[in-house]
Each structure stands twice: as C-alpha cells, then as structure tokens.
Structure 1
C-alpha cells in the first residue's frame, strides 16, 4: 500500500460565469459555495465550492486563461485535457444528486456498475456536465 498522506487539495475549472457556476454547484450538485461575495466585490480572483473538509473546486473565469504563462500552453488548457472529475458520495447523497440534476433538467447518463475507482469497484455511477461543459462522474461504493 502507498503512503496515503497526499491529498487532493483542489481542482480548477474554467467557467464563463463564476457566480452562475457557484450557483449550479450549490443548488444542483449540493456543494458549499466559498468566496462568492468576495469575488463579486472584486476582492478575490475567483470563487470556489467545497467538496469536503480537504478538497475544493476553484471556479476560475475564462478571462484568467490568458494570464496562465507559468507553463507553455497553459493558457490554451481551458477545458482540456481533463477527461472528468469524479465525486464519490454516500448512497443517499448519490440519489439526491441525481434527483437535483434531473429536477433542473441537467442531462445525466445511465448508470454504470462496478467501475473501478480509488476505493475499488463502485456500486453505481453516472455522468453529467456542468453548464460550462466540464464532465463529472458521480458514484457511490457499497
């Protein structure tokens, strides 16, 4: 087994409208919005949403892409090459997420079964996209 002291701190998604994205992640996905007021006041560069006590998703405006000069090609990375981000939930949270997405007419895929992940095979999963086209997988383990 590996040393499990490394944790996923955050994922940065490029979005057209960070406030609308935070609203989607709060109301459709059920995540806690962070720093939205500070963003709208111009005090911070982007808002975030909390996945859990250790992990957040930053909602970076596409206008920031042009300033991403720290790595060659970083400015062109908006939406690429990330395939998808996977959210692992409890069975209840999984069902509640799907219900919220369907209630908001967000297209979802059929269920997957026994797809391999960080905790082994997941009992069920499905995929959906946020309003900016970022792909998410939701799953729960047995």
Structure 2
C-alpha cells in the first residue's frame, strides 16, 4: 500500500477567528497561523488535527476567488457530508465532555459503525458553528 496521507481539509467558515476558537475550546485542536491571520499576514488560519493533518478555516467571503478549478466557488458549504476524527478512548471521552461543557449538541452514541480501521467501538456526530458536520470515533 502507498504512503498516502491526508494533509488538510478546507472548511468554509463565516468567521475564521470564531471558528478557530471553537475548534480550540470545544474540540481541543491547536490553532495554526491565527495571530498571522488576525494581523492580515495570512489568508486564513488553520487548526491542527495531528502532526500531519490540519483543517484550513477559509473565509466564505473568499469563495468567489477560488478559480483553481471550474465550479470551485460554487462548492462553498457542500458537498462534503462529514469529516471523521479518530481518537483514543480517553480523548473521545474528553472531546464529548468539552462539547457538552460548551453546550454543543451531539448525537446519540453509536456502536460498531464501519470506518477505515473496521468497526468503531463508539462514535457520535456534532456540528461546528458554520454547520460543518463532524463524527468522532474510537476503535479498540
């Protein structure tokens, strides 16, 4: 199997600073380039999912400038169904606690849903303030 890895996912957000704060406080992800974005020195901030993967928090106001591919501007807000975060059991519980402390609605806990590593022990879904849907899961 090749060593392909996920580098980043771009999420359209209405307020990148507020989104970064949500991902830091509620999800526990470290902001990247937030100060640079706030100072006008970076086009968008990100949050770190892992050593190799980040979520870019792209301002929806820049959608009309996405010309790298025909129709890119029209993709703002869709068609991604959800992004799944795989965590250890302890990190899963900590995320659930943080989301509940921040009063972020979460789905019921599901068991044995299939993913990249087979059936997950537990999983649940939540939305960020811009409506992007995330699944959190852990395996044995």
TM-score (norm. length: structure 1): 0.97
State the aligned residue count: 140
What's the CA shift for 1:4? 3.8
The counterpart of 1:51, out of the listed 49, 52, 55, is 49
**After the TM superposition, which segments of 4 or more aligned residues of structure 1 sit over 6 Å from their partners?**
none
| Residue matched to 2:114 | 116
- Superposed CA RMSD: 0.6
Q: 2:75 aligns with which of 55, 77, 81?
A: 77
Q: Aligned equivalents of 1:48 and 1:61: distance in 2?
A: 11
1:50-102 CA-partner distances (Å, limit 9, x unpaired): 00000000000001100011222110111100000000000000011011101
1:129 corresponds to: 127
* Match among 68, 86, 90 for residue 88 of structure 1: 86
Corresponding residue to 1:100 among 98, 101, 105: 98
Q: TM-score, normalised by structure 2?
A: 0.98
